[in-house]
Amino acid sequence: MMKTPEIGKYYGAYLNYLVEELGVNPEDIHLAGHSLGAHISGFAAREVKSGKIGRITGLDPALPGFDIGLVSSGTLSSSDADFVDVIHTCAGFLGYKLPIGHADFYPNGGGPPQPGCSVLKFMEACSHGRSWKIFANSLMKKDPYLARKCSSLGDVFTREPCAGDSVPIGDSTPSRTRGIFYSAIDEVEVLNADDENKI
């Protein structure tokens, strides 16, 4: 965890190579990172010298250590890219609880246990891993998961549907999306282990 800013610098150097040497438009770059990788993506994006990264998707950004300021570079932030969306699935335990993106999604209230994950499985990071599975499914599904906008973070934690506009979760989330969102996603809908080799 303490090395995440340093890893982000190396990753950022590669992004600069893509932009400056190969002519990739930074606005066309979409970074996605799970847990520590979410924060590393933010740190890497800050290193880009020419322009701003188009999008970062944070998949249950890691909480331990970041919640008490052990990493001086902070966390993934909405200022790291033109659009930052975050999927929270183990909020307050292994994943960051507070909204840190332009759009923050809290499937099933964002915290453990997620459907199909027991308290014991929580110790194996079952709920923490749901975020990347939901995102992977969004790359493969024709009908995306939908979430509704909530008026406050407190509304999310009631695990009741919110009444705002609905938007897709994952790859097809529009870049203009702003706010906090709730969605009920059943275990059945989440990518199962037999399908992981299709990614």
Catalytic site includes residue 60:
yes
Q: Is the pLDDT of residue 175 over 70?
A: yes
35, 41, 127, 183: the catalytic one is 35
Render pLDDT for 4-36 as a digit per residue (tens, 0 to 9).
Answer: 989 999 999 999 999 999 999 999 999 999 999
pLDDT of residue 189: 55
The ranges assigned to domains in the chain are 4-186
Three-state SS at 57: strand
Catalytic residue among 34, 39, 41, 60: 60
Per the listing, tokens 């033109």 go with 82
pLDDT digits (tens, 9 = 90+) for 47-103: 999 999 999 999 999 998 877 666 667 899 999 999 999 999 999 999 999 999 999
Of the options 3.40.50.1820, 3.40.50.300, 3.40.190.10, 2.40.420.20, the CATH number for the domain spanning 4-186: 3.40.50.1820
Q: Is the model more confident about 80 or about 186?
A: 80
Looking at residue 15, what is its pLDDT?
98
Tell me which amino acid residue 149 is: K
Is 39 among the residues known to form the active site? no
Residue 161's pLDDT band, with cuts at 50, 70 and 90, is confident
Rounded to an integer, the average pLDDT of 161-168 is: 94
- Span of 102-116, 141-155, 177-191 with lowest mean pLDDT: 177-191
Catalytic residue among 34, 88, 102, 128: 128
Please say if 34 is a catalytic residue: no
Q: pLDDT value at position 74?
A: 84
pLDDT of residue 193: 47
Return all residues near 10 (Cβ < 8 A) that are at least 6 apart. Answer: none
Cα dihedral 137, 140, 146, 149 in deg (nearest 10): 70
